[in-house]
Structure 1
Amino acid sequence: MKYTCICFLLLLACSAKAQPSTYKALITKADSLYQAKDYEASARAYSAAFKSNKWRGEVTDRYNAACSWALANVPDSALANLEYVAYKDGYRNYQHITKDTDLASLYINKRWPKLLKQVKLNEQEAEKKLNQPLIKELTGIYDDDQSYRLKLDSVGKKYGRNSKEVKDLWSTIREKDSVNLSKVTVILDKHGWLGADVVGDKGNLTLFLVIQHADIKTQEKYLPMMRKAATEGKANSANLALLEDRVAIRQGKKQIYGSQDLH
């Protein structure tokens, strides 16, 4: 599975603003080709994107390129991209890479064990610097934010979208959101927007999710903080694009990135 952090289906909004438009266009094309299962063409589009950007690319894009190359049965190119993010960018999501079925064709490659060892080392090194108490708190917030939302589809299919069961579930979600927002705003006001280097990837994502689900006044308050964090590498640019568009719509303005489904 392509490397995503929840909401990553909106690749059209993902790349950092400093990247050339050609790079972003090619990344969007590569993702579309992946979705169409034209893996070799997708992989070549990723390569073209990196070439257009002086062979630089976001970690997520290189990981996704590796997925496309692996699915196209070109292991050397797949491993080259993964080794790049592991050795040069410090990629550390050991749990994801070891369970990613897109990479299954690489499991028998002699370079695979060494790659996994490096990813594990990166993870262990990163964990030394993490704020474990905050991670524990944010993990609980994440679970509350996501667990009930993940039930909406199945409950809606079983009882109907306008059923009492769905309305009750939304009532619970709103209650959880209110509690979560109180906790997250305390963290943000005290520490600022914490990056994955302090609270891990999930903790960093949790900050965004709670603000994304908040009222417009809260979003307007913390949007500048997230913008600054994104320029410092402490917030995901894809998530920032989602928040930018949501705030714009609520303010009666046009979306910047077109990430919000208005239908």
Structure 2
Amino acid sequence: MKKLLAYFFVVINIGLMQSQTYKSYVVKGDSCYNIKNYKASVGFYEKAFKIEHKVSSDLYNAACSAAQNHDDKKAFKWLDLSIDNGFENIAHIKIDRDLESLRSKKEWQKTIDKLQKKMDSMSVNYDKPLQAELLAIYTEDQQVRHKYMKVYKEKGAGAKEVDSVGNIMLEKDSLNLIKVMKILDERGWVGKDVVGAQANQTLFLVIQHSDLKYQQKYMPMMRDAVKKGNAKASSLALLEDRVALREDRKQIYGSQISMIPGSKAFVLPLEDPDNVDKRRAEVGLGPIADYVRKWNIVWNVEEYKKELPELEKISNQKKAK
């Protein structure tokens, strides 16, 4: 019996080590992607996928790095595996700028057709007109944001082009909000069983991008939807953080980042930083250190607590402008 127990402990420990190694490679792959070192990013993803290749979001992100590295073969292979392992976001894949170089390749249409066939088989009982409406809203919401970020990176804050695209974004947000409010008021927070996962996520995106009064109005509805399985707890967490800061409270999950021009990026005022990862895990969010790395922030909770008064001062100055 002792030998048997020892065997099980060895197996468990090996499994934990592999899981941790896989995660570390994925984190490194993401980090290299963020600094546009796509070759290194692909290398780390390759190492991760030798351990396992079952997480659709990791496979999709790897495909984006491969496409940016002009490695079409790996990009299509990982997109294919991503679809096999649950990727469903057909609206996003069609507009993702990272995959732009793949769209002229013959394999592209095969990939889209495979995903569309999967979505069609899943959506037999969906409300098709409502799904189509929400997917169209999703595409419009994300396209203008991709354009805004591209111009922002190229021209910098304060440029006329940035302000111009920003105004277009605000106009589209207002129009999309009217459509989504009508759906919410008439149908409630429709779940993915009615419109599919991506169309369902559109409801959150539009409310997340709306003014505070609308966020306050629909947040209770979203909380109820989470309890019923009709919305994601992780998305609700992002909305709760944004509302908290707008109400001059500290955020709970650390999802909101300041990007003040001329200043380093930082996590906006956060309640109880010591236990943020515990709260994030409860709603399905990963460690804050992994999350903030996208903004080249190195998370150190003790340093953050020391800097928090100054960060709050900068945050308040930003609000006053």
Please say whether Structure 1 and Structure 2 have the same fold, judged by a TM-score greater than 0.5: yes
For 1:10, the equivalent position in structure 2 comes to none
**How many Å separate the matches in 1 of 2:102 and 2:25?**
22
For 1:37, the equivalent position in structure 2 comes to 36
Letter in 2 for 1:60: S
**How many Å separate the matches in 1 of 2:167 and 2:175?**
13
Which structure has more RCO (C-alpha within 8 Å, separation ≥ 6)? 1
**Contact between 2:67 and 2:102, CA under 8 Å: does it hold in 1?**
yes
Distance 1:236 1:48, change over 3 A: farther
For 2:298, the equivalent position in structure 1 comes to none
**Contact between 1:211 and 1:218, CA under 8 Å: does it hold in 2?**
no
Distance 1:76 1:198, change over 3 A: same
TM-score (norm 1): 0.59
Deviation track 1:74-96 (CA, whole Å, cap 9, x = no partner) reads: 55543442222233426462883
Pair 1:78 & 2:71 matched: no
For 2:241, the equivalent position in structure 1 comes to 245
Deviation track 1:147-198 (CA, whole Å, cap 9, x = no partner) reads: 99879x89x854996xxx99998996786476346314325xx453422862
**Contact between 2:63 and 2:79, CA under 8 Å: does it hold in 1?**
yes
For 1:256, the equivalent position in structure 2 comes to 253
Find 1:211's aligned residue among 203, 207, 212: 207
**Contact between 2:62 and 2:78, CA under 8 Å: does it hold in 1?**
yes
For 2:127, the equivalent position in structure 1 comes to 131
Q: Unaligned 5+ residue runs, structure 2?
A: 1-18, 261-321
Find 2:84's aligned residue among 82, 87, 96: 87
Pair 1:198 & 2:175 matched: no
**How many Å separate the matches in 1 of 2:201 and 2:62?**
22
Distance 1:101 1:145, change over 3 A: closer
For 1:101, the equivalent position in structure 2 comes to 100
For 2:65, the equivalent position in structure 1 comes to 68
Deviation track 1:115-153 (CA, whole Å, cap 9, x = no partner) reads: 4542242133244333123235435766887799879x8
| CA deviation after TM superposition for structure 1 residue 256, in Å | 1.4
TM-score (norm 2): 0.51
Distance 1:217 1:25, change over 3 A: farther
**How many Å separate the matches in 1 of 2:169 and 2:112?**
41
**How many Å separate the matches in 2 of 1:85 and 1:167?**
33
Letter in 2 for 1:31: D
| CA deviation after TM superposition for structure 1 residue 62, in Å | 0.9
Letter in 2 for 1:210: V
RMSD: 4.8
**How many Å separate the matches in 1 of 2:169 and 2:95?**
35
**How many Å separate the matches in 1 of 2:188 and 2:23?**
32
**How many Å separate the matches in 1 of 2:101 and 2:162?**
34
Letter in 2 for 1:69: A
**Contact between 2:222 and 2:231, CA under 8 Å: does it hold in 1?**
no
**How many Å separate the matches in 2 of 1:140 and 1:218?**
24
**Contact between 2:63 and 2:76, CA under 8 Å: does it hold in 1?**
yes
**How many Å separate the matches in 1 of 2:238 and 2:197?**
20
For 1:8, the equivalent position in structure 2 comes to none
Percent sequence identity is 28
| CA deviation after TM superposition for structure 1 residue 25, in Å | 6.3
Distance 1:182 1:77, change over 3 A: closer
**Larger mean Cα displacement after TM superposition, 30-39 or 176-185:** 176-185
**Contact between 2:223 and 2:236, CA under 8 Å: does it hold in 1?**
no
Larger Rg: 2
**How many Å separate the matches in 2 of 1:128 and 1:204?**
16
Alignment of 1:218-237 (within 5 A): 218-225=217-224, 227-228=226-227, 232=229, 235=232, 237=234
